[in-house]
Amino acid sequence: MPFIPHSANDIKEMLATIDVTSIEQLFEEIPAHLRVKNMPAIPESLTEMELGRLMRSRAEQDSGLLCFIGAGAYEHHIPAAVWHIAGRGEFMTAYTPYQAEASQGTLQLLYEYQTMMASLMALDISNASMYDGATALAEAILMAVRLNRKNKSNRILLPSCVHPFYREVVKTIVTQQGIELVDVPFDEKTGRLSIETLEKMTHEEIAALVIPQPNFLGMLEEVDTLTDWVHAKKALAIAVVNPMAMALLKAPGQWGHAGADIACGEGQPLGVPLSSGGPYYGFLCCKKELARQLPGRVVGRTVDLEGKQGFVLTMQAREQHIRRAKATSNICTNQGLLVAASTIYMSLMGPHGLRQIALISHQNAELLQKKLTAIKGVELVFEGPYFHEFVIRVPRSVEFVLHQLAKSKMQGGFDLSKAYPHLGECLLVCVTETKTAEDIDKFVTALASVLSCEDHSRDKTEKTEHVRTYL
């Protein structure tokens, strides 16, 4: 009986104290005909050693590839100290800090996180985290609609250069409440938003515009112009950004004349491993006048009986356990452990380190882009500045190219042909500080060799039925 400490004698004494004769008797209130007869699908138990053997063989199947995929999840170096400390039992096996006096470690850490993240976004306040970047965007949109009491509009401009899965998540979550999402196409030449296109979308009033930086295609948007444009329409600017990039790029609170009103995004680049897409955490920051509409846990600094500094969960009157059906959100969990890792990561990097990582990732991307576009038939799709990701068009099916690259232990990027079929056979490629000049050359050589292969007829046959990707 794994993890159950009871000896036969314990059980005997405990049953006597309860005044029953068997454990079975404790379930007497459950109607007998409802009781489970058999669960054949559940295998026999394993010891830790047996489990280790099984899991090592499974992990082995997925390892050893050089990764040039980004698309919302980024490989960065994670200092050993990050998970050594975040993995301490006192952080990992505590729960939501309901008993503040017994949770000062988690609470002070969250307060420090809120300070760091708000400052990285150049906004006034931050909550203690959301589930991930996509749900943080959905909550930001719900916030904007609640705040937009003036013209009662529930139309949100959600550009197609925002992560396609973020847009799907937003749709799942906010359309339950009758919010209208308006797709804004990006400029085919620049891969960015244009004011001309936006103007065409405003025959009716809007509640907010979502501004990505960088956008899903890696491109840098003209954030000042966009922010000023949406403010002139008396609507809110919601920034969805890569937090790593904000050490280098102008941060949401600094956009245009008044700054973006809400900033959100995926915290994963800051110390969280790729781990098949989660657990990550979403961050959500805003101007202080929007505080009461902020969803999720928020930590505040206060004092104890003796006037000494301490920390508590605050503004709980917004939350589900108090307001029930009238809460700002049903969320109760945040992603505390991931936030712990990120806070340790940001502390180790400091403002200088974070900027250096953003810079070198950008420079590596430029280096790779120059080398890739020198290959015959490979072209850069959009002109203009990008951060650490860019789009190339290849002369063969992307799916074929990716499968061929995988044979040389290389993950070549994200296949855009399904999310953006009008772009043709396009690949979104990412580089971070983790790649050396040799890694970059290896990738260039591998792609050149795949593309020079004469046999074009194989493009089709390579697409076996089970080789499906996401979209």
Binders of another protein among residues 246 to 305 (CB under 8 A) are 246-251, 254, 266, 273-281, 288, 291, 297-305
CA dist 240 and 282 (Å) reads 10
Among 363, 436, 449, 452, binds another protein (CB under 8 A): 363
Least Cβ distance, residue 393 to another protein (angstroms): 19
Pick out residues in 147-166 that bind another protein (CB under 8 A).
Answer: 163, 165-166
Q: Radius of gyration over alpha carbons of the chain, in Å? A: 26
Among 77, 150, 200, 463, binds another protein (CB under 8 A): 77
Residue type present at position 8:
A
Choice between 202 and 273, CB closer to another protein: 273
Among 349, 381, 392, 447, binds another protein (CB under 8 A): 349
Q: Kindly give the pairing relationship between strand 426-430 and strand 414-415.
A: antiparallel
CA dist 218 and 75 (Å) reads 15
Least Cβ distance, residue 14 to another protein (angstroms): 4
CA dist 107 and 105 (Å) reads 6
Helix axes 437-452, 398-407, angle to 10 degrees: 120
Q: What is the pattern of x (binds another protein, CB under 8 A) and - over residues 79-98?
A: x-x-xxx-xxxxxxxxxxxx
Among 162, 230, 283, 319, binds another protein (CB under 8 A): 319
Tokens of 15: 């049953």
Least Cβ distance, residue 156 to another protein (angstroms): 16
What is the SS3 assignment for 372?
Answer: helix
The residues, ordered by sequence, that sit 6+ positions from 411 with a Cβ below 8 Å of its Cβ are: 65, 66, 67, 68, 69, 402, 405
Give the full edge-to-edge strand order of the sheet including 208-213.
125-126, 282-286, 262-266, 236-241, 208-213, 155-159, 180-184
Pick out residues in 203-232 that bind another protein (CB under 8 A).
Answer: 220, 222-224
Among 160, 190, 293, 320, binds another protein (CB under 8 A): 320
Judging by beta carbons within 10 Å of its beta carbon (0-12, 13-18, 19+), is residue 4 exposed, middle or buried?
A: exposed
Among 8, 21, 58, 461, binds another protein (CB under 8 A): 58
Pick out residues in 97-136 that bind another protein (CB under 8 A).
Answer: 97-106, 108-109, 111-112, 114-116, 118-120, 122, 124-126, 128-129, 131-135
Count of residues of this chain found to bind another protein when the rule CB under 8 A is applied: 208
Helix axes 164-174, 133-147, angle to 10 degrees: 50
The residues, ordered by sequence, that sit 6+ positions from 316 with a Cβ below 8 Å of its Cβ are: 322
For tokens 């956008």, name the residue. 215
What is the DSSP secondary-structure string of 145-162? HHH-TTT---EEEEETTS
Choice between 113 and 231, CB closer to another protein: 113
Least Cβ distance, residue 339 to another protein (angstroms): 8
Pick out residues in 390-419 that bind another protein (CB under 8 A).
Answer: 402-403, 406, 411, 414
Distance between alpha carbon 335 and the CA centroid of its chain, in Å?
11
Asked if residue 54 binds another protein (CB under 8 A), the reply is yes
Nearest partner of 366 among 298, 432, 269, judged by Cα:
432
Choice between 232 and 332, CB closer to another protein: 332
Least Cβ distance, residue 426 to another protein (angstroms): 14
Tokens of 296: 């999720």
Choice between 85 and 380, CB closer to another protein: 85
CA dist 447 and 328 (Å) reads 49
Pick out residues in 3-32 that bind another protein (CB under 8 A).
Answer: 3-6, 10-11, 13-15, 17-20, 23, 26-31
Residue type present at position 126:
S
Among 60, 438, 454, 455, binds another protein (CB under 8 A): 60
CA dist 209 and 212 (Å) reads 10
Least Cβ distance, residue 366 to another protein (angstroms): 7
Pick out residues in 177-196 that bind another protein (CB under 8 A).
Answer: 177-178
Least Cβ distance, residue 200 to another protein (angstroms): 25
Least Cβ distance, residue 257 to another protein (angstroms): 13
Tokens of 22: 């068997």
CA dist 406 and 399 (Å) reads 11
Least Cβ distance, residue 275 to another protein (angstroms): 5
Least Cβ distance, residue 185 to another protein (angstroms): 21
Least Cβ distance, residue 457 to another protein (angstroms): 21
CB 212 within 8 A of CB 204: no
Q: What is the pattern of x (binds another protein, CB under 8 A) and - over residues 431-450?
A: --x-----------------
Choice between 39 and 376, CB closer to another protein: 39
